[in-house]
Chain A
Amino acid sequence: MQFKSRSFDAAEIAVEIKGLEVATADAAGVRPVLHGIDLRIRKGETVCLVGESGSGKSVTSLAVMQLLPASLSVAAGQINLQGQNLRALAPGQMRALRAARVAMIFQEPMTALNPVLRVGDQIAEVLAIHTALSASQRRRRVLSILEQVHLPDVERISRSYPHQLSGGQRQRIMIAMALVLEPVLLIADEPTTALDVTTQKQILSLIDELQQKYGTAVLFITHDMGVVAEIADTVHVMRHGQMVEHGAVRPLLSAPRQDYTRHLLAAVPSLAPRPARSASENIVLRVEGLSKSYGRTGDRRTYAVKDVGFTLSRGRTVGIVGESGSGKSTLARCIMRLIAPSAGQIDLMGTDIATLSPKAFRPHRRKLQVVFQDPMRSLNPRWTIGDCLVEGPVNYGSSRGDALKEAARMIEIVGLPRDALNRYPHMFSGGQRQRIAIARAVMMKPDVLIADEAVSALDVSVQAQVLQLFDDLQAELGLGILFITHDLRVAAQICDEVLVMKQGEAVEYGAAAKVLGAPEHAYTRALIEAAPGRGWDFRNFRPLPLRLQAGGADDQ
């Protein structure tokens, strides 16, 4: 694992935040959101701001941009950009400064770009507002910056609308737009979180390259410790609006001083596959030759899933990994019969459910339960938790009273208080809601549990707890778990077998130790190589021993 070890002591200070306090004021009084944040970024330096959601990372960056929402205001402190106090500026002066000297890129480039304007015109608009260039000069500058972010066929790209580009290309456009005026400071707020891991790698190296070229100071906000290990010079850890710890990347990752930092790092799953568990002969789900296609017959058919097969035994976990659009979720939805598969067999406890009519399938449905990715949307916001939990059992003939008793037991098993049953979903945090969704699925006493990106929306420490819950429930109930994820670390931590999907096809399937440890297929190797921070064992604060490193010995 190579960390950055550049020294910036001699470099000019680009931005300095001193004692920044942000507060929200409402009917209940004034409450602080940030408590005395100090931060210094020198020219050419990459500072990572890490922390879980709600820690105040984004609020800090928005305070620098003076873009705080109306309910938040800066209560105290200084924000100096190259010695100029930003808090003293009038709104008009600040507007002139944004883009020209401080620029920002966001998590979701689709929503950050205007969908009805060509991307070239959107970059040219920045130039038109902040420079005196003529139209033809602006055009040349746009094409040149598009070339610098390594977009192909820049003429065509500049004439494209955002929806005609891929996610990675859109993020490149955002970076081009942010850097076209060569700002002093670039704020990147989770810029790669919405991207696939291979695209993420390219975007990270692009930011690095342009930073070196222009000497830009970068404030990089992320929750992903792997990304931190890859790109940071200096790391600042935030929690509850406070700066917990800061320091150069290597000392911070290898010898964290604060308990919270330790706790945060210990929650990062290792890329080393879990020790193999003894195989069970009790097969609960066998999928063979499963396909889902759309469109006409013959060559014109589009396959979302093509000829995929695997076997899931009781008490074991099969991971389906792949990038977005690889057909992972379609496969899961076929198995759950939320959509009808086009071909193949789904053998659930000895019955082929692929071709059953909805009515004939109904008795089998309870054996097959699901936990979705987004716990905000998978619980009906108008129902109490109790109503959510008893819905399934009541559908299958339990009395409401019995089901409620079982729900009270189950809610405690997943680690929530009994009175949670009378509350509504919005009163819980994301992790708690995911526990509720798991409780709801387990209430049905299923044999197979499908987890569709079930921990992807959670903070890393919450993710670790929820993964532990899956593990505990599996050990207790002997569930077969089909775990769908894009995150190789999560897959390595909990899967016995892994199936790698690419464009609807299974490219590799086998024991986790083999697929992740000694991948045969080039695509699997590419995925593993793109995983950020893969050579570092975050939990043990040291490099991952070579023999355990995913992807084999050709790593260094």
Chain B
Amino acid sequence: MTEILKTLVEAAPPGRTRRIPQMGMTAKIALTILMVIVILTVIAPWIVPHDPLQMDPLARLKGPSLDHLLGTDNFGRDLLSRIMIGGRLSLMIGVATACVSVGLGLILGLVAGFFRRADAVIMRLMDALMAIPSILLAIALVALNGASVGSVIAAITLPEIPRVVRVVRAVILSAREEPYVEAAISLGSRTPLILFRHLLPNTLAPLIVQGTYILASAILAEAVLSFLGAGVSTETPTWGNIMAEGRMFFRIKPELILFPGLVLSLCILSVNLLGDAARDMLDPRLRKSAR
């Protein structure tokens, strides 16, 4: 089979050297969508058509109209305004959780994967961390520190760290056996160089996948926490708790879940597509020639 691959490779047109990484069309579309969502949520306080907390008992559960573009919820609050304002906190929690858990997990995973002695200690700690139910951990943290964005982020981040550590460690364990690592050792490369320049890039592809997954699940986890009363209070809209509240009216007004869900999905999809594009651009073997 390798021979067939070789035949195909040799038949392929010669690639240009040192190509400037080019972004594919899908990645461009994804970037545009993500930018629109982020900009709209960032400048939301100045452009929302209604106060997202303003109730209007006469306009409960109304369908889309010129005044309320996406309709209203069960308290007559404007759904579009709530989604725009809610995105601020949701995105912040999602991005912060993904960054912190990937950052910490990456360092711990690198150390665990490369140093056999540290491996035993770190992985047992991670097992312990995984054994604690995340919801209980969150309630405990909130009880200790009070309900704040910080404790919500901490509560969602902690259980995610072991997952990242496992992924990174697995990649490092196999990559460090590669002959190019042994070659680097015999070229006199010191451990930090081997860790960060030879091994670290191998973890990027799985980390991007893991990171986007954490970003998405953190936004949902925040909704669960606020539903249990252990998160940000339900008065502050987030995509999660807009959906959590809309759940009760799903049969008469599914848009309450549909619209925030749609924005969330678009957001996650864009992040995923951008992650794929970033991975391809970082790996010289996957770089597409400019078309």
Contact = CB atoms under 8 A, between A and B. Distances in A.
Contacts of A440: 183, 187
A254 to B, nearest CB: 28
B184 interface: yes
Given A365-B186, A365-B188, A395-B190, A58 B3 contact: yes
Contacts of A241: 7
Contacts of B285: 381, 424, 426
Determine which residue in A55, A426, A437 has the highest number of CB atoms from chain B within 10 A of its CB, and name it: A426
Contacts of A379: 180, 183
B189 interface: yes
Contact of B182 (A58, A365, A372, A424): A372
A415 to B, nearest CB: 18
B178 interface: yes
A362 B187 CA distance: 9
A370 interface: yes
Interface in B208-222: none
B284 A377 contact: no
Contacts of A437: 183
11 contacts: A28-B12, A33-B7, A53-B3, A69-B1, A71-B8, A365-B188, A366-B188, A370-B182, A382-B284, A392-B188, A424-B285
B201 A56 contact: no
Interface of A: 24, 28, 31, 33, 53-59, 62, 69, 71-72, 241, 336, 338, 362, 365-366, 368-370, 372-374, 377-382, 391-392, 395-396, 419, 422-424, 426-427, 429, 437, 440, 444
B127 interface: no
B186 A62 contact: no
Contacts of B3: 53-55, 57-59
Nearest to A420: B17
B11 interface: yes
Given A56-B7, A59-B3, A392-B189, 4 more contacts: A54-B10, A395-B193, A427-B15, A444-B188
Contacts of B10: 54, 429
A28 to B, nearest CB: 6
B133 interface: no
A56 B10 CA distance: 12
A60 B253 CA distance: 63
A54 B7 contact: yes
Contacts of A33: 7, 11
A392 B180 contact: no
Given A53-B3, A374-B179, A422 B17 contact: yes
Nearest to B12: A28
Interface string B247-291: 000000000000000000000000000000000001111000000
Contact of B4 (A62, A365, A366, A378): A62
Contact of A423 (B6, B17, B187): B17
B15 to A, nearest CB: 6
B188 A362 contact: yes
B101 to A, nearest CB: 25
A31 B11 contact: yes
Interface in B1-51: 1-4, 6-8, 10-13, 15, 17-18
A45 to B, nearest CB: 24
Interface string B164-189: 00000000000000111011111111
Interface of B: 1-4, 6-8, 10-13, 15, 17-18, 178-180, 182-190, 193, 198, 201, 282-285
Nearest to A395: B188
A53 B117 CA distance: 44
A96 to B, nearest CB: 24
A372 B183 contact: yes
Nearest to A366: B188
Contacts of A72: 4
Contacts of B198: 380
A370 B186 contact: yes
A427 B17 CA distance: 9
B179 to A, nearest CB: 4
A395 B189 CA distance: 6
A426 B8 CA distance: 14
Nearest to B285: A426
Contacts of A381: 283-285
Among B6, B12, B187, the most chain A Cβ lie within 10 Å of the Cβ of B187
Nearest to B1: A58
Nearest to B282: A382
A28 B13 contact: yes
Contacts of A368: 186
B187 A392 contact: yes
A382 B183 contact: no
Contacts of A427: 15, 17
A54 B184 CA distance: 31
A336 B186 contact: yes
A54 B186 contact: no
Contact of B187 (A54, A62, A372, A391): A391
Contacts of A54: 3, 6-7, 10
A338 B7 contact: no
A368 B12 CA distance: 38
Contact of B183 (A59, A370, A424): A370
Given A374-B179, A427-B17, A24 B11 contact: yes
Contact of A377 (B6, B15, B17, B180): B180
Nearest 7 pairs of A and B residues by beta carbon: A392-B187, A378-B179, A395-B188, A424-B284, A54-B6, A372-B179, A58-B3
Nearest to A371: B183
B24 to A, nearest CB: 14
A379 B181 CA distance: 9
Contacts of A31: 11
Contacts of A444: 187-188
Contacts of B201: 382
Nearest to A376: B179
A426 B2 CA distance: 14
Nearest to B185: A338
Most buried by B among A24, A54, A55, A69: A54
B185 to A, nearest CB: 6
A53 B6 contact: yes
Contacts of B188: 362, 365-366, 392, 395-396, 444
A428 to B, nearest CB: 11
A482 B288 CA distance: 41
A422 B4 contact: no
B179 A377 contact: yes
Contacts of B183: 370, 372, 378-379, 437, 440
A63 to B, nearest CB: 11
Contact of A69 (B4, B15, B186, B189): B4
A479 to B, nearest CB: 15
